[in-house]
Amino acid sequence: MRVLACLWFACASVQAEASSMAPLTAEPGDAVRGRAIVANRQLGLCLLCHSGPVPEERFQGNLAPPLDGAGARWSAAQLRMRMVDASTFNPETVMPSYFKPGSAARTPAALQNKTILSAQQVEDVVAYLQTLRTAP
């Protein structure tokens, strides 16, 4: 029971941290640009692991939860935190940290201390995901 209580408190603190994550930019995210990032196989690579309502992109992933309904499941702050550093929720995740400077052991020298997406791109993707309110 004690372990269960500790686990609950740990999850609650991570959720509280994610719920309080403020936007990364003063400019609001643009859902159209966000959709383009999600669909882009060179930039976001979202559809490598996730599936979503992007019918023009074939061969979508099934490793991670579908993006459909993401806006109903999580707040903008929670989605932002997942994009910034998904390991906050699951230390074993394979989802990259899109806005955490790369400095892991296997990060190429050219990418050291750089982020995958810019702050505005993260906000754009969050804006797009917030539009996804229904599951398939």
User: Given pLDDT bands bounded at 50, 70 and 90, which one contains residue 7?
Assistant: very low
**Which of the pair, 133 or 12, is modelled with greater confidence?**
133
> How far, in Å, CA of 1 to CA of 22, rounded?
34
**Amino acid identity of 98?**
Y
Decide if pLDDT at 22 tops 70: yes
> H-type helices in 2-136, by residue range?
2-19, 31-39, 46-49, 70-73, 76-85, 119-131
- The structure's pTM equals 0.81
Q: In the prediction, which pLDDT does 6 show?
A: 42
Give the model confidence (pLDDT) of 36-46 as tens digits: 999 999 998 99
Contact of 17 with 82, CB cutoff 8 Å:
no
Task: Describe the chain by its helix, strand, coil percentages, rounded to 5.
Answer: 45, 0, 55
